[in-house]
Amino acid sequence: AKYVYDFAEGNKDLKDLLGGKGANLAEMTNLGLPVPAGFTITTDACQRFLAEGSHVDGLDDEIDRHLRDLESAMGRQLGDAADPLLVSVRSGAKFSMPGMMETVLNVGLNDESVAGLSRQAGGNDRFAWDSYRRLIQMFGKTVCDVPGEEFEDALHKAKEAKGVRDDVQLDADDLKSLVAAYKKVFVKHVGHDFPQDPRQQLDLAIEAVFRSWNADRAVLYRRQERIPADLGTAVNVVAMVFGNLGPDSGTGVAFTRDPATGESGIYGDYLQNAQGEDVVAGIRNTLPLADLEKIDKKSYDELLRIMATLEGHYHDLCDIEFTIERGKLWMLQTRVGKRTAAAAFTIAAQLVEEGMIDLDEAVTRVSGGQLAQLMFPRFDLAGDPAALTRGVGASPGAAYGKVVFTSAQAVAAAAAGEQVILVRRETNPDDLPGMIAAQGILTSRGGKTSHAAVVARGMGKTCVCGADQVEVGRDQFTVHGEVVHEGDVISIDGTTGRVYRGEVPVRPSEVVQYFEGDLDPGLANEPLVAAVHQIMTHADERARLRVRTNADTGPDAARARRFGAHGIGLCRTEHMFLGDRRELVERLILAHNKAERDDALAALRPLQRDDFLEIFREMNGLPVTVRLIDPPLHEFLPSLEELAVQVAVAKERGSSGEQAERDERMLAAVRRMHESNPMLGLRGVRLGLVIPGLFAMQVRAIAEAAVALAAEGGRPRPEIMVPLVGAVQELETVRTEAEKIIAEVVGDSGVEVLIGTMIEVPRAALTAGQIAEAAEFFSFGTNDLTQMAWGFSRDDVEGAFFWRYLELGIFGISPFESLDRDGVGRLVRIATEEGRATRPGLKLGVCGEHGGDPESVHFFHEVGLDYVSCSPFRVPIARLEAGRAAV
Ligand code: PEP
Ligand code: MG
């Protein structure tokens, strides 16, 4: 295998192998842009290294060869005493994981080459010794696990001894002493001296970067972002360039468009006389990129030219890291930039407008997850609440919660069900658990490219950063003397950057208003709304999967239709048996004889008919799948424990009379119906077979409602669905009875009623060929199918032990959330193929929760289903994903 690629050998399509950073460095090198020389060690090598625990055969020789090429390109040798080449060793996985893995800078410095570096920098001893102490610190921490505080302490002592506050006030001699102190720290913890051999430094740094793939925070980030655990990271070895060589040097980040809104312009941050890590760490407040024009016009102009080249080349928003070393511009990284959900839509539409991409491509540039974010509510500022302060709107959204100051507090509060806002001076990768747990993040330092901003945008979490009037303390923060305590509620607006005290009310987002069809006319031409409209329209045109909704009330059906649903895929009739109707259901269950039971059913029928009529009206002309009652009947009865206590107490008191008698009868019924595994018990089609008249009543009500709508001139398209079928005989029994009733009710009204079944028991999937004989359609109930295929109780397992499964990587995401393609998906495939083999026109859909999950929608498209059905608010998301699956 080939483990090492020179930058000139790679290209942007090799991300699997070279990681995002390596692939794009290669691409820029080949575009002739000013990239420092370097090479990339592949993710393959990392996977090998992690699997074998150490040495990878052949890797050393390859590194040797590429290092020699690098040395000859730069005209210097690694760590050479007189004129050293220094390199950075940087992580870079296929998917960007900002700040989660390790980087070591200044590799190649030692007691001798430090003098050579000083000479290169024009006799700048201070710079050379500062670089050396940074190497020992970074190397000690990342390669040898020396606790970082030890170095911090030594630095602190050096400043104290000198009586200064800032690092920059330490001179060359101070830093030289500090290097000696750092070396002592190193030897104390590691047991040997800081390695002087440059090549050994390099090898150890590379291995440390490999290992950092499995650092705790990297593992957590991958789980959060659903990045597979086995990809490994590439390692980039790059000739060092320095942004901290004086005022004519500096470092920055730039975006070719605004990553928050998508508007074209000059966006980014610049820090004079600094190294790249200083910008991303958010440690110093940066200058707007536009200010670079005044500082160094030549570099600025060159940067703008390069940005235009990159956009033209990638046909997308790019973000860039660059360094200026004594007036010479170097590109350290570029990638297709992370962006907010709103920017993703507007940028895609702009690129279409500019002729850079076509509409098919535009549809792939956005995702259902992003659309979901745009559907979150916004702050309602009608009362014009006064803002406490304002920072940079780094990641949009409207979030409120109690103020906490540490990651651990945020995690604890969220576990206790509280909403919190994590307030930090700046965040670092160790804050990740708290950032995940919080509703939003507020920092007092750092710009749009600080750690907090980048990570929050990536996660779609609301974030305001760089609110520099905020003084963050231990258990309170102040703004101009006004104190906000831990536990006080604040609201943060990630779009405007405004921070409010208390809970600001919210209103529907513009995008939801657009879907609802009641958009404020002033907003109709807003770029975002226009972009969503254009992209959704195209997605609908391309989609092959239809999208239906799961709804069981008229208003839900109406909303889903406005959101673009093509009918109802699941109307759960049990939801109609709650509230004041519970009593009728009780009567049905407690009935002593046929007459009592018929009475109860007769009372329920008109109510059901009206429910159905309302829904059929809202979905006039579109199919409505009504599922016959599914859950175990005891769900409608009081709990066994409570009732037993009640009856015992009543007996004790000697109460008698009608109520006491009823309670006793009820208790007997509850006892009789008690099941150890109700999910595997008397529910679904089994109820219909056991309780005479129950399904018949529902079928009659459905047919009557359909006839009533037809009589009004409407066009009902009812589909009756039988739940929990495992054998064709079950379905045939129900079907025979239902057909008789339908024929009787429908007469010559012209109403057509389809009869089909859910496929949600594994046996049904495996005998789908037989079941299709009796079914005009199948709808996959992937909730139960997942439950029964894995044997996981859908109501219990997620909190109980899934964390361990996720930790072990048995699955990357709960199979109840995203369809398990290999297992449950296989059942879906089998049933699809065998069902259609029996009945070529068989209509196939899915109505489990997976119908609204983007990943799963792509799977259902591939398998060839006709539709997915999901909750009303997921309908637009499923429409978009259905379009994306088809382009
Ligand atoms: C299913 O099992 O996937 C389904 C849609 O039915 P329910 O969730 O009501 O059991
Ligand atoms: Mg089910």
Is residue 552 in contact with ligand 1, taking CB distance under 6 Å? Answer: no
Element (H, E) at 832: helix 824-838
The alpha carbon of 559 and the centre of ligand 1 are apart by a number of angstroms equal to: 21
Is residue 130 in contact with ligand 1, taking CB distance under 6 Å? Answer: no
Q: Which atom of ligand 1 is nearest to the CA of 779?
A: 5
SS3 826: helix
Q: How many CB atoms lie within 10 A of CB 239?
A: 20
Candidate from 44-58, 104-118, 725-739 with smallest mean pLDDT: 44-58
* Cα dihedral 52→57→60→63 (10° resolution): -90
CATH H-level superfamily of 250-336: ATP-grasp fold, B domain (3.30.470.20)
Is residue 102 in contact with ligand 1, taking CB distance under 6 Å? Answer: no
- pLDDT, greater one: 458 or 184: 184
Q: Give the phi and the psi of residue 333 in degrees, each rounded to 5.
A: -170, 150
**Residue 386 per-residue DSSP state:** P
Q: What is the pLDDT of residue 284?
A: 66
519, exposed or middle or buried, with CB in 10 Å at 0-12, 13-18, 19+? middle
Q: What is the pLDDT of residue 86?
A: 97
The alpha carbon of 724 and the centre of ligand 1 are apart by a number of angstroms equal to: 9
Is residue 570 in contact with ligand 1, taking CB distance under 6 Å? Answer: yes
Which ligand lies nearest the alpha carbon of 550? 1
Residues of the chain with CATH 3.20.20.60: 543-632+675-886
SS (H, E, C) 552-582: CCHHHHHHHHHCCCCCEEEEEHHHHHCHHHH
Listing DSSP states for 686-728 in one string gives HHHHHSTTHHHHHHHHHHHHHHHHHHTT---EEEEEE-S--SH
Q: What is the pLDDT of residue 395?
A: 83
Candidate from 89-103, 687-701, 766-780, 841-855 with smallest mean pLDDT: 89-103
Is residue 848 in contact with ligand 1, taking CB distance under 6 Å? Answer: yes
Q: Residue 477 pLDDT more than 80?
A: yes
Q: Confidence band (pLDDT; 50, 70, 90) for 460? A: confident
Give the model confidence (pLDDT) of 465-475 as tens digits.
989 899 999 99
Q: What is the distance between the terminal CA atoms of the chain, rounded to a whole angstrom? A: 35
162, exposed or middle or buried, with CB in 10 Å at 0-12, 13-18, 19+? middle
Is residue 108 in contact with ligand 1, taking CB distance under 6 Å? Answer: no
CATH architecture of 543-632+675-886: Alpha-Beta Barrel (3.20)
**Residue 253 per-residue DSSP state:** E
Residue owning the nearest CA to atom 10 of ligand 1: 784
Mutate to test the pocket of ligand 1, among 760, 782, 817, 871 (most ligand atoms within 8 A of CB): 760
Mutate to test the pocket of ligand 1, among 552, 725, 847 (most ligand atoms within 8 A of CB): 847
The alpha carbon of 848 and the centre of ligand 2 are apart by a number of angstroms equal to: 7
| Options 3.40.720.10, 3.60.21.10, 1.10.1060.10, 3.50.30.10; CATH of 395-496 | 3.50.30.10
Rounded to whole angstroms, the Cα distance separating 203 from 60 reads 9
The alpha carbon of 800 and the centre of ligand 1 are apart by a number of angstroms equal to: 21
Element (H, E) at 26: helix 15-30
pLDDT above 70 coverage of the chain, percent: 99
Closest by CA position to 728, among listed 695, 772, 693, 760: 772
Give the model confidence (pLDDT) of 563-576 as tens digits.
999 999 999 998 78
Catalytic residue among 46, 571, 847, 870: 847
Q: Residue 626 pLDDT more than 60?
A: yes
Q: What is the pLDDT of residue 496?
A: 87
CA 291 → CA 359, 400, 459, distances in Å? 36, 34, 30
Q: What is the pLDDT of residue 492?
A: 96
556, exposed or middle or buried, with CB in 10 Å at 0-12, 13-18, 19+? buried
Is residue 17 in contact with ligand 1, taking CB distance under 6 Å? Answer: no
Q: Residue 797 pLDDT more than 90?
A: no
Is residue 815 in contact with ligand 1, taking CB distance under 6 Å? Answer: no
Rounded to whole angstroms, the Cα distance separating 595 from 749 reads 31
* Strand 77-78 with 38-41, pairing: unpaired
The alpha carbon of 783 and the centre of ligand 1 are apart by a number of angstroms equal to: 5
259 token code pair: 């990553």
- pLDDT, greater one: 225 or 722: 722
Is residue 447 in contact with ligand 1, taking CB distance under 6 Å? Answer: no
Is residue 845 in contact with ligand 1, taking CB distance under 6 Å? Answer: no
Average pLDDT for the chain: 92
Active site annotation includes 315: no
Q: Which atom of ligand 1 is nearest to the CA of 850?
A: 3
155 token code pair: 């630095």
Q: Which atom of ligand 1 is nearest to the CA of 572?
A: 9
Contact 607, 666 (CB under 8 A): no
Locate tokens 């409209």: which residue?
533
Q: Confidence band (pLDDT; 50, 70, 90) for 308? A: very high
Q: What is the pLDDT of residue 281?
A: 57
Average pLDDT over residues 199-210: 96
- Listed ranges 229-243, 648-662, 797-811; the one with the highest mean pLDDT: 229-243
Is residue 847 in contact with ligand 1, taking CB distance under 6 Å? Answer: yes
Residue owning the nearest CA to atom 6 of ligand 1: 781
Residues of the chain with CATH 3.50.30.10: 395-496
SS (H, E, C) 729-754: HHHHHHHHHHHHHHHHHHCCCCCCCE
Candidate from 313-327, 328-342, 356-370, 657-671 with smallest mean pLDDT: 657-671
CA 508 → CA 247, 376, 503, 520, distances in Å? 49, 7, 16, 12
Candidate from 270-279, 348-357, 419-428, 843-852 with smallest mean pLDDT: 270-279
Residues of the chain with CATH 3.30.470.20: 250-336
The alpha carbon of 505 and the centre of ligand 2 are apart by a number of angstroms equal to: 37
The alpha carbon of 678 and the centre of ligand 1 are apart by a number of angstroms equal to: 14
Is residue 631 in contact with ligand 1, taking CB distance under 6 Å? Answer: no
Candidate from 228-237, 680-689, 791-800 with smallest mean pLDDT: 791-800
Which ligand lies nearest the alpha carbon of 725? 2
Contact 110, 37 (CB under 8 A): no
Q: Confidence band (pLDDT; 50, 70, 90) for 352? A: very high
Q: Confidence band (pLDDT; 50, 70, 90) for 165? A: confident
Is residue 782 in contact with ligand 1, taking CB distance under 6 Å? Answer: yes
The alpha carbon of 485 and the centre of ligand 2 are apart by a number of angstroms equal to: 47
Mutate to test the pocket of ligand 1, among 577, 725, 758, 853 (most ligand atoms within 8 A of CB): 758
Catalytic residue among 66, 451, 858, 861: 451
Is residue 784 in contact with ligand 1, taking CB distance under 6 Å? Answer: yes
Amino acid 573 reads T
SS (H, E, C) 595-652: HHHHHHHHHHHHHHHHHHHHHHHHCCCCEEEEECCCCCHHHHCCCHHHHHHHHHHHHH
Residue owning the nearest CA to atom 1 of ligand 1: 781
Q: Which atom of ligand 1 is nearest to the CA of 783?
A: 3
Percentages of the chain per state (helix, strand, coil), in multiples of 5: 50, 15, 30
Q: What is the pLDDT of residue 6?
A: 96
Q: What is the pLDDT of residue 669?
A: 85
Rounded to whole angstroms, the Cα distance separating 718 from 714 reads 12
Q: What is the pLDDT of residue 838?
A: 98
Which ligand lies nearest the alpha carbon of 572? 1
Average pLDDT over residues 214-241: 90
519 token code pair: 């958009």
The alpha carbon of 696 and the centre of ligand 2 are apart by a number of angstroms equal to: 20
Give the model confidence (pLDDT) of 101-160 as tens digits.
889 999 999 999 999 999 999 999 999 999 999 999 999 999 999 999 999 999 999 999
Total count of residues recorded for the chain: 887
pTM score: 0.82
Q: What is the pLDDT of residue 280?
A: 59
Contact 261, 342 (CB under 8 A): yes
The alpha carbon of 846 and the centre of ligand 1 are apart by a number of angstroms equal to: 10
Rounded to whole angstroms, the Cα distance separating 322 from 299 reads 10
Q: Confidence band (pLDDT; 50, 70, 90) for 602? A: very high
Closest by CA position to 104, among listed 196, 24, 204, 5: 204
Active site annotation includes 55: no
Q: Which atom of ligand 1 is nearest to the CA of 849?
A: 3
CATH class of the region 4-239: alpha beta
Is residue 749 in contact with ligand 1, taking CB distance under 6 Å? Answer: no
